[in-house]
Structure 1
Amino acid sequence: MQGSTETVISQERNGQGRNGIAAALARQPLVILALAAAGLTLALSITVTMPIGPMYWDHYIYLDAANRILDGQIPSVDFFAPVGGLGYYLFAGWLYLFPNGHPLLLSSWSLLTVTAPLMALVILDVQKRSPAIAYGLLLPFLIFSLLPFNTGDFYPYPGSDGFGIYNRQVCQLLYVLAAALVFVRGWKTLAAVTALAMLALLFIKVTGVVAGLVLCLMAFVAGRLPLRAAIIGGAVFFAVIGLMELTSGMVSAYATDILSLVVINDTSLLPRLLQAASLNFGIVVASCLLGLVLFIQGFQAFSNATRSVFAKPGFQASAEVFDQSFLWIASFIAAGLLFESQNTGSQAFIFLWPLLLAILIETYRNKGSSVAFAAVAILALSAAIPPVATVTQKAARAWIGSVNNTPLAHQNLKTMGAVGMRDMLSQRAQRLEANYMAYRPAYQALAEAGELPSFLLYSDFEFQTLWLQNADAVISAIRTFEAANKVRFETVMTIDFTNPFAWLLDRHAPKYIAIGADPYRAVPPPGERVNAAVAGVDLALYPTCPPTTARLKLLELYAPALAADHHRITLTPCYDAFVRNGITASP
């Protein structure tokens, strides 16, 4: 009997202990953020095999950029980049800290260096009033930050989203900024988060800071961003920009790159806005309908506020006019459409959630469990749920499906080669490679006619698989060539979209040459210093399985600089190379 009593008391104490821990966690959402960070550290301490995915090679750009940065090159100053340099610097730092981490995960998660501390500031402010709201902001943030997947579908087969990384990062920064503008009450915290988030947006992608500016202007005119917070935040923003320009010249060089991109991509904005709206049709329509419902429900308050501003002009009265839920929705949708109009791959409109959460809370307080609240809740959730559902579904499909994948066999690809694919895709890649080699003139003619072998060639898994296999083979061929000729290629470039070879070979990439080399969107016509850099490169690799329109265009751009001092050889059946004459005698 005594033993039974002690057992019961022990169970009660254990239960109270567990309840106490649960209660403590409920009041401290930052513990969850810290646990997530610890989990990332563990995940990056080993090399995780990722399933191959559409446009998977996009993230190799980060390896090229990191190799250049660790060589002392500065983005925009020493090489042309399609976006800002912050993401590349963060990746380079994480690659140094986690050499075994998979490059795709490193490039996606490295932004947490910025977003996690900023989100912690937001949570610290919000949890003082409501831990539940703090969790409501934190948990979606963690889902979008930890699952490196886009909200849009560009390929039917499940796999890793290796593209649109900096677009996802901008959306995650906009989420933190939106959470601060809507929920943070401490003006010092708001000033700090706003300034740092806007700086990060600027140096991730310039269209991100345009979208962030729309959010900040809305918060300012609505009285949510106090004047002193705006002034101090703006002062910090411009002071950091000025300091960076004085010390490195990066800002003016970045501006020059942006202008070059504008010249290359001179299409009208309206078609891009319509495309962005169509790609995110469900979210846009649900948000617009929500704005209409909120306008109808709040029309009387809006009318009263408008009359008050004429009767008693002033900033406070003006702020009451603008601080209307339907105007907030309109500004957020406008910001999202502006940003998404320039994107392929993103976590589109995830930053709507903090605003939608605030609208749900305010409507429930005012309307209670009513039809009016139900209408708002249905429309708000219709806009909020699709991004979460899409990202989690794509992650589940990719990683559950990867149990049937076979890891890529390679010798030279380091962590970049930690990728798996279905056996049937590997077999298809080998059959296509044989076809590319046997019928190369036909594929050359197709490329010269302006067509690809497949409209979705760069998304096709077999193309991405074959690219990796050929990269592994050409590195072996380079080392064999070097040993046979007693030479060493110190500078390596590719006449292709991406150049991870300098990193894979522990060599150097030449200065001034664009990374992420899409000749139709992100490679300006080479000037004098680019031509000089190309002319001085030791080895320029040119893939030929298959010839593509982009590869032909890049060869056309760089061939004049290679003509005088380089000779062309065949390294493998799928790679030609331009070797500098000063390295070895012509065969």
Structure 2
Amino acid sequence: MTLTLNNSHSSLSRRFATLASPLVILLAITLILVGLLLLPLTVPIGAFYWDLFIYFDAANRIFSGQLPGVDFFTPVGPLGYWLFALVEWIFPQGQPLLIAQWSLLLVTGPLIALVVHDVDKRSRGLALALLLPFLVFQVLPINVTQYYSYPSVDGFGIYNRQITEILYVLAASLLFVRSMRVMFAVVVGTMLALFLVKVTGFFAGGLLCVVALLARRIDLKLSLAAAASFLAVLALLELWLGIVSAYLGDIAALLSLNEGSLLPRFLQAASIHFTVFGPLCALMLVLIVFDGRAMLGAVKAFLRSPGAATLAGVMDWPLVWLAAATFAALFVETQNTGGQGFIFVWPVLLMAWERRGRLEGSRLGLLAVLIAAASLPYLTEVTARAARAFVGQITYERLQNDHLGQLGQVSQRSEIMHHAAVMKTIYAAYPQTYEAIAQAGELPSFTLYNAPDFQLAWLMSVDEAVGAIKAFEAEHDMRFATIMSLNFTNPFPWLLDREAPRGVAIGADPFRAVPDPGPAVLQSVKTTDLVLYPRCPITDANETLRDLYAPALRSMTKITLSPCWDAYVQPDVAAAAASAPSQAASGASSGLGLGASAQTTH
């Protein structure tokens, strides 16, 4: 009987150990995410949600044969768009934000699996301590900073989330992986991903790699092999697609559009993230007190006998790693706030705890408190906001639409939904008010794009435009093959299964991310079949975009497509529309007026 109980207990222990395996947990979570992407889920729409629709613009261009950077200007690298397009193709009914968030697992999943498998050979607890926080941030589409008070998800800062999640994997590998083969694979994989997602992440990762090299956590031979492999892949991409030089050209153009001192941006990033930046600074001061004498001895040893070994003795301290990771996190945030900044400091904090040595009593307690203060705020912020969003939306209303497809898989409070519909009507009825505000260089409210009611009203107007385009085409027996929008994002080619004009920037913020169009771009716009101009509301940004492309629009004719949209069409289309009796003209007041006016643009 005793033998039977012992065997049963041993069997249960083995099963529990298997279920608690980091690789089993990672596989289980991945399978759950795949199952969720098979369902037409909704999420509660949040601040700046229209950033997400840039991915649809890019995916449509990719599916039509265009290359990011080569055939259209991009604010970041191509990898995020490629991953989104691939997962969207596999899961055509998946919720778009979840696709954008989880598609990165195609890269980070195998790499973090290599890391935790290597660490698990020595310590199951440490492996789980690395994996579980990573999964929280990788799975939940929530930023560490909040821009709107009602429960919602974050459809913006996706690029920044991606690079910090990749940096997390890199930091975990540099600090805890022992196998040089695993280290090589993870360093090459993460640095390629960082470069091809957003170059600021690549520079941050490069800083961590330099510290690892100086600390002899990676040797010179591995570093040179990793660098050679990295460059070989980029050379292959350049020879095959010409995408690397185009990407570097886009980076140069963005730098020219965003000139200015970095110091104010560092101060801004530090203030926004002071919740964790403050404890990190306090922890670094404490580490100076705790380790200062030993570190000073290492510096003296290096000065007496300079060499790689003595230099490693200076560099491989928690204080140095923490300073490098904190600076890297601040640098990432200087280029665009929003995302999951500072999450990749967690592996360094784990290292600081692992290297606590003989600390005890109040010193050990102080170290534990500061590590907790630097790591818990963002973990609790993301999980709490995610819980609020996904529980709160139980009572939310789904956006009603006819033409939005996946873009319409959002929900929000019924009061906010009603407010959005009312404001859309007011935008259309009183355009002079909003035109005057735009002419003053202002928005109707300073935080207009933050508000979910604006995002909902914008989606409602997109739904209206798609319906109006279909009605116009049916009435005049024609088809617009290429469509452009003088707006931040252009979802219309995706929604109508058309093409976007080549060369035109996506994520069209005219003040930060749209270079002056050259002759090739203007010619592309000039030959576009349909150029849409939004009026609900009229904004300074949209007027600036229209001015940028005005030389190409002069030969086109402006018509009123619907109350919320003007359109620029080729003169022959406008002439045909003007000569044909408009069946929908009487519907102008209801938002479906077509061809109500036509004039040559000057």
Residue equivalent to 1:300: 293
Report SS of the residue matched to 1:534: helix
TM-score, L = length of structure 2: 0.93
Which of 310, 315, 340 aligns to 1:322? It is 315
Contact kept, 8 Å, 1:410 with 1:472, in 2: the verdict is yes
Which of 144, 156, 165 aligns to 1:172? It is 165
Deviation at residue 155 of structure 1 after TM alignment: 1.9
Report SS of the residue matched to 1:570: strand
Residue equivalent to 1:20: 14
Contact kept, 8 Å, 2:424 with 2:461, in 1: the verdict is no
Return the alpha-carbon distance in structure 1 between the equivalents of residues 458 and 428 of structure 2.
14
Contact kept, 8 Å, 1:487 with 1:584, in 2: the verdict is no
Mapped pair 1:114 → 2:104: no
Return the alpha-carbon distance in structure 2 between the equivalents of residues 9 and 560 of structure 1.
88
Matched pairs, number: 577
Return the alpha-carbon distance in structure 2 between the equivalents of residues 252 and 301 of structure 1.
47
Return the alpha-carbon distance in structure 2 between the equivalents of residues 60 and 124 of structure 1.
36
Residue equivalent to 1:199: 192
Post-superposition Cα deviations, 1:346-387, rounded to whole Å, max 9, x if no partner, equal 101000101101111210xx1254222211111111111111
Deviation at residue 345 of structure 1 after TM alignment: 1.3
Return the alpha-carbon distance in structure 1 between the equivalents of residues 100 and 302 of structure 2.
49
Residue equivalent to 2:569: 579
Deviation at residue 426 of structure 1 after TM alignment: 1.6
Task: Structure 2 unaligned segments of length 5 or more: list them.
Answer: 579-602
For the structure 1 residues 322 and 15, does the alpha-carbon distance in structure 2 shift closer, same or farther, using more than 3 Å as the test?
A: closer
Mapped pair 1:484 → 2:478: no
Return the alpha-carbon distance in structure 2 between the equivalents of residues 207 and 529 of structure 1.
29
Mapped pair 1:381 → 2:375: no
Mapped pair 1:275 → 2:239: no
Return the alpha-carbon distance in structure 2 between the equivalents of residues 113 and 368 of structure 1.
41
Return the alpha-carbon distance in structure 2 between the equivalents of residues 585 and 19 of structure 1.
79
Q: Partner letter of residue 159 of structure 2?
A: Y
Residue equivalent to 1:415: 406
Contact kept, 8 Å, 2:54 with 2:490, in 1: the verdict is yes
Residue equivalent to 1:182: 175
Mapped pair 1:507 → 2:498: yes
Mapped pair 1:131 → 2:124: yes
Post-superposition Cα deviations, 1:299-327, rounded to whole Å, max 9, x if no partner, equal 22112212222333321111101112211
Deviation at residue 91 of structure 1 after TM alignment: 0.4
* Deviates most, 371-380 or 544-553: 371-380
Contact kept, 8 Å, 1:348 with 1:387, in 2: the verdict is no
For the structure 1 residues 282 and 494, does the alpha-carbon distance in structure 2 shift closer, same or farther, using more than 3 Å as the test?
A: same
Report SS of the residue matched to 1:242: helix
For the structure 1 residues 430 and 329, does the alpha-carbon distance in structure 2 shift closer, same or farther, using more than 3 Å as the test?
A: same
After the TM superposition, which residues 316-465 of structure 1 pair with which residues of structure 2 at under 5 Å, given as runs? 316-363=309-356, 366-465=357-456
Contact kept, 8 Å, 2:559 with 2:574, in 1: the verdict is no
Residue equivalent to 1:570: 560
Return the alpha-carbon distance in structure 2 between the equivalents of residues 406 and 72 of structure 1.
37
Contact kept, 8 Å, 1:65 with 1:88, in 2: the verdict is yes
Report SS of the residue matched to 1:585: helix
Which of 87, 91, 94 aligns to 1:94? It is 87
Post-superposition Cα deviations, 1:432-472, rounded to whole Å, max 9, x if no partner, equal 12222222111101111111111111111111111111111
Report SS of the residue matched to 1:510: coil
Report SS of the residue matched to 1:298: helix
Give RMSD over aligned pairs: 1.6
Q: Partner letter of residue 263 of structure 1?
A: S
Residue equivalent to 1:251: 244
Which of 40, 56, 68 aligns to 2:33? It is 40
Report SS of the residue matched to 2:575: coil
Report SS of the residue matched to 1:402: helix
Return the alpha-carbon distance in structure 2 between the equivalents of residues 548 and 9 of structure 1.
78
Q: Partner letter of residue 287 of structure 1?
A: L
Report SS of the residue matched to 1:569: strand
Residue equivalent to 1:152: 145
Q: Partner letter of residue 25 of structure 1?
A: L
Residue equivalent to 1:163: 156
Q: Partner letter of residue 560 of structure 2?
A: T
Return the alpha-carbon distance in structure 1 between the equivalents of residues 309 and 473 of structure 2.
73
Which of 220, 226, 232 aligns to 1:227? It is 220
For the structure 1 residues 303 and 9, does the alpha-carbon distance in structure 2 shift closer, same or farther, using more than 3 Å as the test?
A: closer
Return the alpha-carbon distance in structure 2 between the equivalents of residues 440 and 24 of structure 1.
64
* Deviates most, 15-24 or 209-218: 15-24
Q: Partner letter of residue 145 of structure 2?
A: G
Return the alpha-carbon distance in structure 2 between the equivalents of residues 9 and 485 of structure 1.
85
Identity %: 46
Q: Partner letter of residue 193 of structure 2?
A: A
Deviation at residue 571 of structure 1 after TM alignment: 1.5
Residue equivalent to 2:598: none
Residue equivalent to 2:206: 213
* Deviates most, 49-58 or 308-317: 308-317
Post-superposition Cα deviations, 1:228-266, rounded to whole Å, max 9, x if no partner, equal 211111111111111111111111111111111111111
Q: Partner letter of residue 22 of structure 1?
A: F
* Deviates most, 187-196 or 15-24: 15-24
Return the alpha-carbon distance in structure 2 between the equivalents of residues 475 and 183 of structure 1.
52
Return the alpha-carbon distance in structure 2 between the equivalents of residues 241 and 46 of structure 1.
37
Post-superposition Cα deviations, 1:8-48, rounded to whole Å, max 9, x if no partner, equal 9999977665443112233x210000001101110001111
Which of 473, 488, 493 aligns to 2:464? It is 473
Report SS of the residue matched to 1:367: coil
Contact kept, 8 Å, 1:187 with 1:226, in 2: the verdict is no
Return the alpha-carbon distance in structure 2 between the equivalents of residues 307 and 126 of structure 1.
33
Report SS of the residue matched to 1:477: helix
Return the alpha-carbon distance in structure 2 between the equivalents of residues 312 and 9 of structure 1.
62
Mapped pair 1:237 → 2:227: no
Q: Partner letter of residue 50 of structure 2?
A: W
Deviation at residue 584 of structure 1 after TM alignment: 5.2
For the structure 1 residues 578 and 301, does the alpha-carbon distance in structure 2 shift closer, same or farther, using more than 3 Å as the test?
A: same
Return the alpha-carbon distance in structure 2 between the equivalents of residues 477 and 328 of structure 1.
57
Report SS of the residue matched to 2:549: helix
